[in-house]
Amino acid sequence: MTHEELDGYDKLASAMALEFGSAIFRRFAKLNITNLLYLQGELTYIERDLADIIKDAKTAKDAEKCGYFFSVAEMKNAAYSAQWEKVLEGRRLLKEFNTTLLQLAQISKFSKPHDTDLEVFRDLLEREEYAKGRMIDPMDQWGEQNEDDLIWLGSPDDKTDRFTGLIISGLLPAISIIMLYYVKNTVAKLVTISVLNMVFVVIMGLMSKAGRVEIFAAATAFAAVQVAMITNGSLQS
């Protein structure tokens, strides 16, 4: 199926797969931490129970149980060993606790979505709502109340590239003014405008989320300003 034929979650997943800038999810920080705390509480109980079992075995001076202190095989192979059962219970929970802890540590390293990406993403949701007459449920997953809990799967390099693009885009108008000031020939000025406009379009295309229409409009405005400076005589000829 094409992207246009998809609806709801399927269409959203397709958009995220095409553009990782829109791959925005909940971190569920509070829920994850609560789960870890519960697991930690359970493990603490197991730790105490195991300590009590060992203490009771020493106090009772049970020869069989005292053998558990020196041989795992004896503890495992006993007809019934409360100590070994408690060890296995703790092992299962420790695995779950450690895995959950490491996963949360990894999740916490994800960056928050860029404001522009979040705005584009929410626009996508709104367009889908208007087109289909139905919102993705639950509708508040990406709402403002959860904004601090959102993570973005894009690479950190994407933000660096975008910042670099903003710097370059900001410098281009200033560079064009300086270059056109020193270029005396009108034809040379027009060629300079064309070259600078092409550079502007390339930067916009590579380092922004703008569509073709927006890039074309921005490039036209950029060129119009430069031409206006020439025709109005604001630059020395």
Per residue in 166-186, pLDDT (tens digit) is: 666 667 777 777 777 777 777
The residue ranking higher by pLDDT, 80 or 51, is 51
Share of the chain above pLDDT 90, in %: 22
The residue ranking higher by pLDDT, 145 or 205, is 145
In angstroms, the CA 206 to CA 209 distance is 8
**Is pLDDT of 92 > 90?**
yes
In angstroms, the CA 34 to CA 26 distance is 15
When the pLDDT of each residue in the chain is averaged and rounded to a whole number, the result is 78
What does the DSSP assignment read for the chain? --GGG--HHHHHHHHHHH-GGG-EEE--HHHHHHHHHHHHHHHHHHHHHHHHHHHHHHHHT-HHHHHTTT-HHHHHHSS--HHHHHHHHHHHHHHHHHHHHHHHHHHTTSBPPPHHHHHHHHHHHHHHHHHHS---SSTTTTSGGGGGGEEE-S-HHHHHHHHHHHHHHHHHHHHHHHHHHH---HHHHHHHHHHHHHHHHHHHHHH----HHHHHHHHHHHHHHHHHHHHTT-S--
Structural domain spans, the chain: 8-27+111-154, 29-108, 159-235
The residue ranking higher by pLDDT, 193 or 31, is 31
Share of the chain above pLDDT 70, in %: 70
- pTM of the entire predicted model: 0.60
pLDDT, mean of residues 196-224: 71
pLDDT, mean of residues 104-115: 90
**Is pLDDT of 91 > 80?**
yes
Q: What is the pLDDT of residues 13-58, one digit of tens each?
A: 888 887 766 789 999 999 999 999 999 999 999 999 999 888 877 7
pLDDT, mean of residues 49-68: 75
Give the per-residue pLDDT at 13. 85
- Cα four-point dihedral sign 178, 184, 186, 188: negative
The residue ranking higher by pLDDT, 224 or 235, is 224
Give the per-residue pLDDT at 157. 52
Give the per-residue pLDDT at 235. 45
Tokens 């100590």, residue?
83
